[in-house]
Chains A and B, each alone.
Chain A
């Protein structure tokens, strides 16, 4: 019995000695989608300028990472460039987390090619043929006799998941495709590869590449807002339950006119 008491005491001492209470600083933490990252960073800076007592920490990692961090209760906000999946919602709810979505911007996944590529339009079917490896040369699409260099996002990316669903209908990307870890990397790679095609959120598109229309529709404020652009989507922030306190104020700020102006400056489409 003495042996047991000694063991029990040892356990209790170790447990209690590790429980030293320290108060955590007051701050808002968010992580997740790399597409949402520039919007989150820019709005956080503006919000902190107006509210110096509040510190907002913004990290990337990808939509899946943000959702997992919300599940693990280590962030206040999960940034996501796609809606949460049933499995993720189920896992959250069973842990007592009620994921609540807030739309913060509109986006159109833009198809980009090298500036010297003569192709101006692609149908969704043609994009699917390119990305599944059925079409391998631009001449088969009315362009120059040049091999197509397919550039895609890594499969953990929310942008990839939306693109896979909306453009590829779930089909497998050809194994020869280059998978890159960020929107910036895709745009940069396409800009320096003459036969390349890639896709990225509107906010990442710049003059180094050319955007092609999809089904004859250019991604812009009108076509993304009315969803006529086939690859349009919303960007989200998820909180545990209805946002409250400083988190609610921050999200309200993003959704306000001032916040939506920042969204536009980052190259994305405002909500209204």
Chain B
């Protein structure tokens, strides 16, 4: 579906929703937009095979835009609809045709001379996805503070579901393609009494919200998720998530031939958060174990386990300064070197980010409507443990990001 047809669909859905919204208790309109400058330098091989620093990218972008409607139909029933807008659409697939005709003059093209391949990139300069479209039913199940959510919603895995981009950059599980931030599904989620934590159980499609064309999940298996976070004492939170997912069909629909590429994924995540005074430190451990049950080799050579660790400290200076300033940092390691040598995703890397946020123009609840973020990230790949084409052949990279994020929200009471 192109951005244009998705936009048309969005407008149509919006028109259809209007009568419903008019009977709602209240409707909240909210938006968030990120304008970013990105400058990236990486080591690339020159003609002699030696690595030299080269500027890989230097551009401005509307990196993200979210526009949402949250409708409260009653005290226990709410719906949320959010679209995700971005100018750097690298996940959009399209069919590219190449004419294999040396004369380049003869038309119409004979079928034998036309080659069609799937490419990724932006067709029309912008991307548009539905990020959320779900309903929360608060009192359907007679358990206090338990909500049944149905539709395109958050994936309650690791830190991805409450990642609020205090640093520029995705949540670790999103960054390393372990879990998606949103997916179609049904979840039971809620909070434990007295603020002791939160939980979620869910069934999802297991493909996320961005997949299109050939990257769509082709099997009929759902993904299953369990998440628990406990805060036994204020400032100390521990949690764990488990998700079981599959990729590909186990066997062909016609003929029943076993598919050797069929994947069974076991995803685990542990979260620790320590918050005391101005310091807030998160730690996340990720494990992704992938099995290929149909692999014929007795040694199961394709099976692999990837692991990662992220630590992200945030220090808020607003208690000491007349300004709302945060110092932020992040240290990541990600090791996917257990993959077979021929796999282009085989890698081992570490990354460090340092930065600062200046939050200003706060609303009455002291949430900033504007955020200026400056991040410097350096990423190193272990060449011996990574495929030569990993990260497009870039070895070590450094990136500077300057981002202005602005938000708004307005509640329309009926």
Contacts and interface: CB of A to CB of B under 8 A. Distances in A.
Listed residue (B75, B139, B325, B356) with the most chain A CB atoms within 10 angstroms of its CB: B75
Contacts of B309: none
B316 interface: yes
Interface stretch (A50-58, A102-110, A113-121, A167-175): A167-175
Interface in A76-134: 85-99
B49 interface: no
B319 interface: yes
A246 B175 CA distance: 46
B75 A93 contact: no
Given A72-B365, A72-B366, A93-B234, A22 B273 contact: no
A3 B235 contact: no
A154 B413 contact: yes
A170 B74 contact: yes
B321 A90 contact: no
B53 A1 contact: yes
A94 B231 contact: yes
Q: Most chain-B Cβ atoms within 10 A of its Cβ — which of A1, A4, A90? A: A90
Contacts of B235: 93, 95-96
A160 to B, nearest CB: 9
Contact of B365 (A21, A68, A92, A175): A68
B15 to A, nearest CB: 19
B89 interface: no
A61 B273 CA distance: 30
Given A4-B41, A72-B367, A155-B26, A170 B53 contact: no
Contact of B53 (A3, A21, A59, A164): A3
A172 B73 contact: yes
B74 A171 contact: yes
B197 interface: yes
Contacts of A20: 321
B25 A173 contact: yes
A19 B317 contact: yes
A15 B372 CA distance: 12
A143 B356 CA distance: 65
Interface in A149-205: 154-156, 161, 164-165, 170-173, 175, 179
B144 A86 contact: yes
A74 interface: yes
A64 B275 CA distance: 22
A33 interface: no
B398 A7 contact: yes
Contact of A11 (B145, B325, B400): B400
Contact of A96 (B26, B53, B234, B318): B234
A10 B325 CA distance: 17
A42 interface: no
A44 interface: no
Nearest to A68: B365
B75 A164 contact: yes
A261 to B, nearest CB: 31
How large, as a class, is the contact surface on chain B? Answer: 35 or more
Contacts of B139: 170
Contacts of A73: 316, 318-319
Interface stretch (B186-194, B216-224, B240-248): B186-194
Contacts of A175: 22-25, 414
Nearest to A156: B411
A86 B365 contact: no
Interface in A12-45: 14-15, 18-22, 24, 31
Contacts of B144: 86
Contact of A24 (B24, B41, B322, B325): B322
Contacts of B72: 155
A212 B366 CA distance: 39
B192 A65 contact: no
A172 B25 contact: yes
Contact of B414 (A1, A31, A95, A179): A179
A89 B195 contact: yes
A173 B25 CA distance: 7
B76 interface: yes
A73 B368 CA distance: 13
Contacts of B364: 31, 59, 61, 65, 69
7 contacts: A3-B398, A22-B322, A90-B198, A94-B229, A94-B231, A175-B24, A179-B413
Interface of B: 22-26, 39, 41, 53, 55, 72-76, 139, 144-145, 190-198, 229, 231, 233-235, 237, 273, 275-277, 280, 316-323, 325, 327, 354-356, 358, 362, 364-367, 374-376, 378, 398, 400, 411, 413-414
Interface of A: 1, 3-4, 7-8, 10-11, 14-15, 18-22, 24, 31, 59, 61, 64-65, 68-69, 72-75, 85-99, 154-156, 161, 164-165, 170-173, 175, 179, 241
